[in-house]
Structure 1
Amino acid sequence: MSSGAFVGDDGSLPQQRITRAERNGNQSFADVLAEAVSSRHVTLDRLSQELKAAGTPVSIATLSYWQTGRSIPTRVGSLKALAVLEQLLRLPAGHLAAALGQLHGDDRMARLLAELDFPPQQDFTTQTVHHRTHFSLQQHEQRETVIQLIQADEDQLRRIPLVRQADEDQAPPEMTDPVGCRIGEQVSSVDLGLTLIELELEQPLQLGEMAMLEHTTTWPVAETQVHTFAHAMLRPVSFLVLELLFADTLPRHADYLRYQLGALDPDLDRAPGQPMEGTDFFQLALANAAAGTHHLRWEMP
């Protein structure tokens, strides 16, 4: 990464611009970022190049979405990139993150559920979740298969909500190969960075009855060194298993962390990085796994 930061051609001091931004408490993240970029007289292409050189790549399209308010940074890598952006744009540490504001995840999630006519309180319990990811760097493919065991908490359970981490560049790929369910409607929340999907059960469940559901999603793999996958949960589960299987190129290490749904800062649930040289398999098993977004992050050589 090149040293220093972008300095405006007009010679204005960063603090002068920041003070103007801070006086307007109603400024959105998009407004704050757009003003900072404009004040520094720098292109999004240049910013994207610098972010990639710093090891926190963000595409030009994503930067444009952030600047226009079409999306906001929600992923682990994107939030790390904000710190680099602050350095490049001569902003105080945490300035862009603060502009995102405090996300009231519970209220916004309730509204998101209501859009698909789901109640705020779920009428089923997820007993176990097994999330297995097959990763191939050579085939540029990341295939994720989720198997979950659910139990009805009331009679005539016909549908359940599934929450997924939303991509900041584009809509997530379609889920395929559903077992025990059909894929219904879906709705996304930009500020939460989540997509809610309706799963219609093949047969209604009565109180106490259980069913095993399965579905697969295949993502394209970007040409970056660091990769992640996320599993989002509205409620705790008794057992959560996260697995990574590498088809060809082996990673250097992997680590785990958990976020609250819609939060900007990680919870305390953070496992130390696990060295992975010479192994093609990583597994993390959690008992009484908390609600939130569970991330696995791995670094390729």
Structure 2
Amino acid sequence: MEAFPAEVAAAVREGPFEVAFDLAIRHRGLSLEALQRRMAGRGAQVSLATLSYWRRGRRHPEGHRSLHAVGVAEGCLGLPEETLTRLVARPRVRTAEPWPGGVSLASALGSEPTELAACDGIDLDGNSRLALASVRQRAVLGPDRTERSVRTELVVTSRADGVDRWVSFFRPQTGGGHRPVLRAAHCCRPGRVRRDAASELLACELRFDYPLRAGETYVFDFEFGYEGTPPETSYLQFGVRAPARQIVLQACFDPAAVPVRCYRYHRPRDGAADPAAREPELPVGPSLTSHIAVMDARPGVYGMVWEWD
């Protein structure tokens, strides 16, 4: 093996991939255009944007074609086989320490452990690597009192390098064969999806446009709806396992179905909400909306509930 400078040798030995890739390119004195031409000459067609994203850690090579291209890049950069592909195969995310005083996932969702077992293959603790700066959730109710859509916008800060996804959990209020689906996603794309048929719990991975660095913020939003008839709904809630700077929940009612009363509630930590401890009524204004806004929210479940009759 060619003798590389200590900095390059350490990077290709220890990673991460983007650092090793960048230093190897610099050591060769190549521009990305020159590297792209060399790779194309060996049968690997990769865009300049992709090479730039790999070099800066904005994206990570995934899939057979990308891994083949990384192997070709090794040859173009004078690196031994598997030098970079070995780094690609390594887990990219350093585990962040759990939040002290946080609540369990089952508590935040109001779910049983058996329901979460249906989410096999999804990292159920992955969201703990993101700090919640802002949660804005808006539910639209129909004239028949049903939940037509729920849109959520999140602002997060990464607690570790390499975090590239959020797992969203969604479940109808009532049973009866309702099938929630992801209708839209912005600044993220759907990954693995899991369902628990009995509880109708839906878990959906939402993959970011690029991996985040520790301390980096990210904004994304998504919307859930239903295939077929939506369920009748009388509450909107969001559970957080760790502190959140801001939580805003808003329910938008149809003129043909306006609740007679609306309240807010909070279920702290692993305790159950006391129905008798409802806070004063929330107003439903001329715009036919009602909302709650919580600043510096502690772990637990925050919600609003309304009475139709």
The Cα shift of 1:156 comes to 1.4
Distance 1:166 1:254 in 2: 19
1:162 aligns with 2:151: no
Q: Which amino acid aligns with 2:155?
A: L
Q: Which amino acid aligns with 1:285?
A: A
Query: Please, which runs of 5 or more residues in structure 2 have no aligned partner?
Result: 1-104
Show the counterpart of 2:141: 135
The 5-angstrom pairing of residues 1-301 of structure 1 reads 105=107, 108=113, 115-119=121-125, 122-137=128-143, 140-165=146-171, 168-170=175-177, 172-188=179-195, 194-219=201-226, 220-222=229-231, 227-249=234-256, 250-259=258-267, 265-266=272-273, 270-276=278-284, 280-301=288-309
Cα shift readout 1:146-175 (whole Å, capped 9, x = no counterpart): 001011111111112223345533364111
Distance 1:171 1:149 in 2: 29
Distance 2:183 2:211 in 1: 21
Q: Which amino acid aligns with 2:239?
A: A
Show the counterpart of 1:59: none
Distance 2:230 2:245 in 1: 31
Distance 2:220 2:253 in 1: 24
Q: Which amino acid aligns with 2:301?
A: T
The Cα shift of 1:290 comes to 2.9
Q: Give the direction of change, closer, same or farther, for the CA distance of 1:208–1:148 in structure 2 (3 Å limit).
A: same
Contact 1:114 1:120 in 2 (8 A): no
The Cα shift of 1:194 comes to 5.0
Distance 1:240 1:173 in 2: 23
Relative to the length of structure 2, the TM-score reads 0.52
Cα shift readout 1:107-156 (whole Å, capped 9, x = no counterpart): 94997877413447711111100011122215955221100101111111
Q: Which has the larger radius of gyration?
A: 2
Cα shift readout 1:56-81 (whole Å, capped 9, x = no counterpart): xxxxxxxxxxxxxxxxxxxxxxxxxx
Relative to the length of structure 1, the TM-score reads 0.53
The Cα shift of 1:230 comes to 2.7
Q: Give the direction of change, closer, same or farther, for the CA distance of 1:129–1:105 in structure 2 (3 Å limit).
A: closer
Identity of aligned residues (%): 16
Distance 2:145 2:119 in 1: 36
Give secondary structure in 1 for the equivalent of 2:263: strand
Aligned residues: 196
Give secondary structure in 2 for the equivalent of 1:238: strand
